[in-house]
Structure 1
Amino acid sequence: MDFLKNLGGAQENSQSSGNTVATEAGGRNTTTDMAGKGGEGGGGIMGKFNNMLGGGAAGEKKEDGLDKGVDWVQQHIMGEGPQNNESAAEEAKDEMISDMIRGEYKSASVTGMNFPIQDK
Protein backbone atom coordinates (compact mmCIF):
# COMPACT_ATOMS: atom_id res chain seq x y z
CA MET A 1 0.00 0.00 0.00
CA ASP A 2 3.03 2.23 0.34
CA PHE A 3 3.29 2.42 -3.42
CA LEU A 4 -0.14 4.11 -3.49
CA LYS A 5 1.12 6.78 -1.10
CA ASN A 6 4.24 7.26 -3.19
CA LEU A 7 2.15 7.71 -6.33
CA GLY A 8 0.41 10.61 -4.59
CA GLY A 9 3.75 12.30 -3.87
CA ALA A 10 4.06 11.16 -0.27
CA GLN A 11 7.38 10.71 1.50
CA GLU A 12 7.69 8.28 4.38
CA ASN A 13 9.58 8.70 7.63
CA SER A 14 9.74 5.56 9.79
CA GLN A 15 9.48 5.96 13.54
CA SER A 16 10.59 3.48 16.20
CA SER A 17 7.00 3.05 17.41
CA GLY A 18 6.11 0.91 14.40
CA ASN A 19 4.10 3.69 12.78
CA THR A 20 4.90 5.40 9.52
CA VAL A 21 4.39 9.12 9.01
CA ALA A 22 3.76 10.02 5.39
CA THR A 23 4.12 13.62 4.27
CA GLU A 24 1.66 14.24 1.46
CA ALA A 25 2.26 16.58 -1.44
CA GLY A 26 0.33 19.36 0.35
CA GLY A 27 2.63 19.13 3.39
CA ARG A 28 0.12 17.28 5.58
CA ASN A 29 1.32 14.41 7.75
CA THR A 30 -0.67 11.20 8.01
CA THR A 31 0.17 8.37 10.40
CA THR A 32 -0.29 4.73 9.45
CA ASP A 33 -0.02 1.74 11.80
CA MET A 34 2.58 -0.61 10.34
CA ALA A 35 2.01 -3.54 12.71
CA GLY A 36 0.72 -5.78 9.93
CA LYS A 37 -2.90 -4.94 10.60
CA GLY A 38 -3.91 -3.67 7.18
CA GLY A 39 -7.59 -2.91 6.86
CA GLU A 40 -8.21 -1.98 10.47
CA GLY A 41 -11.34 0.05 10.82
CA GLY A 42 -12.88 -1.66 7.79
CA GLY A 43 -13.27 1.62 5.94
CA GLY A 44 -12.96 2.07 2.21
CA ILE A 45 -12.32 -0.41 -0.51
CA MET A 46 -9.19 -1.86 1.12
CA GLY A 47 -11.14 -2.67 4.29
CA LYS A 48 -13.85 -4.42 2.27
CA PHE A 49 -11.22 -6.33 0.30
CA ASN A 50 -9.54 -7.38 3.56
CA ASN A 51 -12.87 -8.62 4.94
CA MET A 52 -13.54 -10.59 1.74
CA LEU A 53 -10.20 -12.35 2.15
CA GLY A 54 -11.04 -13.40 5.71
CA GLY A 55 -9.52 -10.60 7.77
CA GLY A 56 -11.06 -8.11 10.15
CA ALA A 57 -13.91 -8.80 12.54
CA ALA A 58 -15.47 -11.35 10.18
CA GLY A 59 -12.30 -13.44 10.25
CA GLU A 60 -12.17 -13.33 14.03
CA LYS A 61 -15.62 -14.97 14.18
CA LYS A 62 -14.33 -17.93 12.15
CA GLU A 63 -11.44 -18.72 14.53
CA ASP A 64 -11.47 -21.92 16.55
CA GLY A 65 -10.15 -22.25 20.10
CA LEU A 66 -6.56 -23.00 19.04
CA ASP A 67 -6.49 -19.94 16.74
CA LYS A 68 -7.69 -17.81 19.66
CA GLY A 69 -4.93 -19.35 21.79
CA VAL A 70 -2.34 -18.43 19.15
CA ASP A 71 -3.71 -14.86 19.17
CA TRP A 72 -3.49 -14.76 22.99
CA VAL A 73 0.17 -15.85 22.93
CA GLN A 74 0.99 -13.29 20.25
CA GLN A 75 -0.69 -10.50 22.19
CA HIS A 76 0.26 -11.23 25.79
CA ILE A 77 3.55 -13.11 25.57
CA MET A 78 5.11 -11.87 22.33
CA GLY A 79 3.73 -8.33 22.75
CA GLU A 80 2.41 -7.97 19.19
CA GLY A 81 -0.53 -5.83 20.24
CA PRO A 82 -4.28 -6.42 19.96
CA GLN A 83 -5.26 -9.41 17.87
CA ASN A 84 -8.97 -8.64 17.58
CA ASN A 85 -8.97 -7.11 14.07
CA GLU A 86 -6.21 -8.76 12.06
CA SER A 87 -5.54 -8.53 8.34
CA ALA A 88 -6.28 -11.49 6.09
CA ALA A 89 -2.55 -12.22 5.85
CA GLU A 90 -2.22 -12.28 9.65
CA GLU A 91 -5.26 -14.59 9.90
CA ALA A 92 -3.66 -16.94 7.34
CA LYS A 93 -0.39 -16.93 9.30
CA ASP A 94 -2.25 -17.79 12.52
CA GLU A 95 -4.07 -20.63 10.74
CA MET A 96 -0.74 -22.01 9.50
CA ILE A 97 0.63 -21.93 13.06
CA SER A 98 -2.41 -23.74 14.46
CA ASP A 99 -2.30 -26.34 11.65
CA MET A 100 1.39 -26.94 12.43
CA ILE A 101 0.55 -27.40 16.13
CA ARG A 102 -2.18 -29.92 15.22
CA GLY A 103 0.17 -31.84 12.92
CA GLU A 104 2.98 -31.97 15.47
CA TYR A 105 0.57 -33.02 18.22
CA LYS A 106 -0.68 -35.93 16.13
CA SER A 107 2.78 -37.07 15.01
CA ALA A 108 4.33 -36.69 18.47
CA SER A 109 1.44 -38.42 20.23
CA VAL A 110 2.06 -42.07 21.02
CA THR A 111 -1.52 -42.95 20.14
CA GLY A 112 -1.66 -40.81 16.96
CA MET A 113 -4.64 -38.89 18.31
CA ASN A 114 -5.85 -35.63 16.79
CA PHE A 115 -5.61 -32.35 18.70
CA PRO A 116 -8.61 -32.13 21.08
CA ILE A 117 -9.86 -28.79 19.62
CA GLN A 118 -11.45 -29.25 16.18
CA ASP A 119 -10.37 -27.01 13.29
CA LYS A 120 -13.01 -24.70 11.81
Structure 2
Amino acid sequence: MEAVTPLDACVTMEPDEGRVAATRDRLVTPEEAARLADLFRLLGDQTRAQLLYALLEAGEMCVCDLTETVEVSDTAVSHALRLLRTAGIVAGRRSGRMIYYRLADSHVRMLLDLSREHLRHEIVAG
Protein backbone atom coordinates (compact mmCIF):
# COMPACT_ATOMS: atom_id res chain seq x y z
CA MET A 1 0.00 0.00 0.00
CA GLU A 2 1.31 3.46 -0.96
CA ALA A 3 1.90 6.07 1.79
CA VAL A 4 -0.28 9.18 1.60
CA THR A 5 1.60 12.49 1.71
CA PRO A 6 -0.23 15.65 2.81
CA LEU A 7 -0.55 18.23 0.05
CA ASP A 8 1.45 20.82 1.98
CA ALA A 9 4.42 18.56 2.74
CA CYS A 10 7.62 17.90 0.79
CA VAL A 11 7.80 14.59 -1.05
CA THR A 12 11.48 14.34 -0.13
CA MET A 13 13.31 15.93 2.75
CA GLU A 14 16.09 17.34 0.55
CA PRO A 15 15.89 21.13 0.65
CA ASP A 16 17.39 23.22 -2.15
CA GLU A 17 20.37 24.60 -0.23
CA GLY A 18 21.03 27.39 -2.75
CA ARG A 19 17.44 28.61 -2.63
CA VAL A 20 17.36 28.36 1.16
CA ALA A 21 20.62 30.34 1.53
CA ALA A 22 19.55 33.04 -0.96
CA THR A 23 16.18 33.43 0.74
CA ARG A 24 17.67 33.46 4.22
CA ASP A 25 19.96 36.34 3.15
CA ARG A 26 16.90 38.45 2.19
CA LEU A 27 14.69 37.43 5.11
CA VAL A 28 13.49 40.03 7.61
CA THR A 29 15.30 40.01 10.91
CA PRO A 30 13.54 38.63 13.99
CA GLU A 31 13.21 42.23 15.23
CA GLU A 32 11.61 43.35 11.96
CA ALA A 33 9.30 40.33 12.02
CA ALA A 34 8.19 41.25 15.55
CA ARG A 35 7.49 44.85 14.51
CA LEU A 36 5.55 43.66 11.46
CA ALA A 37 3.50 41.29 13.62
CA ASP A 38 2.72 44.19 15.97
CA LEU A 39 1.69 46.36 13.01
CA PHE A 40 -0.64 43.73 11.58
CA ARG A 41 -2.08 43.07 15.05
CA LEU A 42 -2.98 46.78 15.23
CA LEU A 43 -4.55 46.65 11.78
CA GLY A 44 -6.39 43.44 12.70
CA ASP A 45 -9.07 45.23 14.73
CA GLN A 46 -12.34 46.12 12.97
CA THR A 47 -12.75 49.51 14.65
CA ARG A 48 -9.17 50.55 13.93
CA ALA A 49 -9.51 49.37 10.33
CA GLN A 50 -12.68 51.44 9.87
CA LEU A 51 -10.99 54.49 11.40
CA LEU A 52 -8.03 54.12 9.08
CA TYR A 53 -10.22 53.84 6.00
CA ALA A 54 -12.24 56.86 7.16
CA LEU A 55 -9.00 58.83 7.37
CA LEU A 56 -7.92 57.43 4.01
CA GLU A 57 -11.11 58.76 2.42
CA ALA A 58 -11.48 62.05 4.33
CA GLY A 59 -7.83 62.98 4.70
CA GLU A 60 -8.24 64.46 8.16
CA MET A 61 -10.92 64.16 10.85
CA CYS A 62 -11.48 64.99 14.51
CA VAL A 63 -12.63 62.44 17.10
CA CYS A 64 -16.29 63.55 17.00
CA ASP A 65 -16.39 63.21 13.20
CA LEU A 66 -14.71 59.80 13.36
CA THR A 67 -17.11 58.68 16.11
CA GLU A 68 -20.09 59.62 13.98
CA THR A 69 -18.61 58.11 10.81
CA VAL A 70 -17.78 54.65 12.20
CA GLU A 71 -20.65 54.65 14.73
CA VAL A 72 -18.48 53.74 17.72
CA SER A 73 -18.23 55.49 21.10
CA ASP A 74 -15.85 58.42 21.45
CA THR A 75 -14.01 56.47 24.17
CA ALA A 76 -13.37 53.57 21.78
CA VAL A 77 -12.27 55.96 19.02
CA SER A 78 -9.92 57.84 21.36
CA HIS A 79 -8.39 54.59 22.60
CA ALA A 80 -7.92 53.27 19.06
CA LEU A 81 -6.37 56.56 17.91
CA ARG A 82 -3.96 56.54 20.86
CA LEU A 83 -2.73 53.07 19.86
CA LEU A 84 -2.45 54.04 16.20
CA ARG A 85 -0.68 57.32 17.02
CA THR A 86 1.80 55.56 19.34
CA ALA A 87 2.57 53.08 16.55
CA GLY A 88 3.17 55.91 14.07
CA ILE A 89 0.23 54.92 11.86
CA VAL A 90 -1.75 58.14 12.38
CA ALA A 91 -0.63 61.65 13.27
CA GLY A 92 -2.49 64.50 14.89
CA ARG A 93 -2.64 68.23 14.27
CA ARG A 94 -3.86 70.58 16.98
CA SER A 95 -6.07 73.50 16.06
CA GLY A 96 -7.08 75.34 19.22
CA ARG A 97 -8.72 72.72 21.45
CA MET A 98 -9.37 70.33 18.56
CA ILE A 99 -7.05 67.60 17.30
CA TYR A 100 -7.40 66.48 13.71
CA TYR A 101 -6.08 63.04 12.82
CA ARG A 102 -4.66 61.87 9.50
CA LEU A 103 -2.68 58.92 8.19
CA ALA A 104 0.95 59.32 9.18
CA ASP A 105 2.48 58.90 5.73
CA SER A 106 2.08 57.60 2.19
CA HIS A 107 3.24 54.11 3.20
CA VAL A 108 0.18 53.68 5.42
CA ARG A 109 -2.02 54.95 2.59
CA MET A 110 -0.40 52.50 0.16
CA LEU A 111 -0.82 49.58 2.59
CA LEU A 112 -4.53 50.37 3.00
CA ASP A 113 -5.05 50.81 -0.75
CA LEU A 114 -3.30 47.51 -1.51
CA SER A 115 -5.24 45.70 1.21
CA ARG A 116 -8.56 46.93 -0.15
CA GLU A 117 -7.49 45.99 -3.69
CA HIS A 118 -6.55 42.52 -2.46
CA LEU A 119 -9.99 42.08 -0.87
CA ARG A 120 -11.71 43.17 -4.08
CA HIS A 121 -9.51 40.80 -6.09
CA GLU A 122 -10.48 37.89 -3.80
CA ILE A 123 -14.19 38.63 -4.32
CA VAL A 124 -13.83 38.70 -8.12
CA ALA A 125 -11.52 35.66 -8.25
CA GLY A 126 -13.56 33.71 -5.64
Task: Say yes or no: TM over 0.5.
Answer: no
Normalized against structure 1, the TM-score is what? 0.25
Structure of higher CA gyration radius:
2
In the superposition, the TM-score normalised over structure 2's length comes to 0.24
* Greater share of helix: 2
